[in-house]
Copies of this chain bind each other. A is one copy, B any other.
Amino acid sequence: MMVLEKNIPYKIYLEESEMPTRWYNVRADMKKKPAPLLNPGTLQPMTLDELSGVFCRELAKQELDDTTPWMDIPEEILEFYRMYRPSPLVRAYFLEKALGTPAKIYYKFEGNNTSGSHKLNSAVAQAYYAKQQGLKGVTTETGAGQWGTALSMSCAFFDLDCKVYMVKVSYEQKPFRREVMRTYGADVTPSPSDKTNIGRKILEEFPGTNGSLGCAISEAVEDAVSHEGYRYVLGSVLSQVLLHQSIIGLETKAACDKYGIKPDVIIGCAGGGSNLGGLISPFMGEKLRGENDYRFIAVEPASCPSFTRGKYAYDFCDTGKVTPLAKMYTLGSGFMPSANHAGGLRYHGMSSVLSELYDQGLMEATSVEQSAVFEAAEQFARVEGILPAPESAHAIRVAIDEAMRCKETGEDKTILFGLTGTGYFDMVAYQKYNDGVMTDYIPTDEELARSMSECPKVD
């Protein structure tokens, strides 16, 4: 029988009165700020007016604001948050027991909503600001489909048009994700498509292409800027997204503070950085202000290793090179992870905020191979009862590894990780794992050098 720690619930749900009502902007506490977005034509920092042609004005303001630490969450967004938040902070008692580790493991579980992930936290904010601005709708891209689903839900709620460019291979392999989006009224197009110039160009150049996130971004941006009353929205990478996702970390921090939990190490998977950035923000704030110290670990797939093998440079955010330039750890905007790579975390770049924090040595990064990731996913599912998304399982892998190191050393560290979502729409990948046919792939140095050589020369 399990002995629960005195006075700490198995799952911590904050009371509604304890829920955060402000987002936290970690950039405000960074002495050296993340590099600004650049206009690719002039190589000058993007102005508010320039950005407002692509993004909603309020979101463009948030994107540029690196000095305001706290921003009030509008009441309508707080209402929506109440539909699926607070998310629980769970003590992984059963996992600890299975591992026989003295470590204490906690996870913040963001999967208990129909989008299946944390993406909803920013989707609702972006849809809200679009509605406030009187727009007709928004365009976006989606890969694995979590972001597209989250945005569809948010647009249905605020009665906005939602046009989703879905990476073609996902569109075909994940028809159920597509149907969830359609149920929420979204218009879903496989990308590349013949709806946009860039899509037609890519189809002409690569007729049989499976599509990529970078390419779908190009199409969504083109669609937005060429239609009156539409703007483009993005589910990760951007600083505004990290701002909205700070709700994850703020709830976690509030739960930790309430029960006297002090994490030694905080672990999150990293694709574009939305979950990791959101989870660590308030903890990183304390570290930046010298109030507390924490280890932070970004976990990325070995098949798409932007932090661990990319270069820190200005690059395009998309394949079609229509977006502003962002300074980030990047593998080059033409990089595409190997076809055997399952799930998300397939973006070529990384949040500028996290890139800068990593570059300053304030956080660590590691990469893991996918068969080891699914092994951790299965182990976790069987003892903790939650079938994790492949993305989230990257964090589980490293949390387990850390806990096993504690078993060796006898340390009773407190390990906290972000469980970003559920794997219900990823069963093709689980099937491969169950059938023993899942493979790993690590790109060669030559391959990465080639894709990174295409980054624009800025300095």
Contact = CB atoms under 8 A, between A and B. Distances in A.
Interface of A: 1-2, 9-11, 13, 15-16, 75-76, 79-80, 82-84, 94, 112-114, 116, 153, 156-157, 175-176, 179-180, 182-185, 378, 381-387, 422, 424-425, 427-428, 430-431, 433-434
B79 A2 contact: yes
A185 B430 CA distance: 12
A385 B76 contact: no
Nearest to A384: B83
A424 B425 contact: yes
5 contacts: A9-B15, A156-B381, A156-B382, A157-B385, A183-B387
Given A114-B387, A425-B424, A382 B157 contact: yes
Contact of A175 (B13, B16, B381, B427): B427
Contacts of A183: 378, 381, 387, 430, 433-434
Contacts of A434: 179, 182-183
Given A82-B10, A185-B382, A381-B114, A427 B75 contact: no
A321 B119 CA distance: 50
B424 A176 contact: yes
Contacts of A112: 112
- Main SS of chain A's interface residues? helix
Nearest to A153: B385
Nearest to A74: B1
Contacts of A425: 424
Contacts of A15: 9
A15 B378 CA distance: 30
Q: Would you list the 7 A-B pairs with minimal beta carbon distance, nearest first?
A: A176-B427, A179-B427, A156-B382, A10-B82, A424-B424, A114-B387, A83-B385
A10 B16 contact: yes
A298 B169 CA distance: 43
A342 B144 CA distance: 26
Contacts of A182: 430-431, 434
A9 B16 contact: yes
Contacts of A84: 385
A147 to B, nearest CB: 16
A179 B183 CA distance: 24
Given A180-B424, A182-B431, 13 more contacts: A1-B76, A10-B82, A11-B82, A83-B385, A94-B157, A112-B112, A114-B424, A116-B424, A179-B431, A180-B387, A182-B430, A184-B381, A424-B424
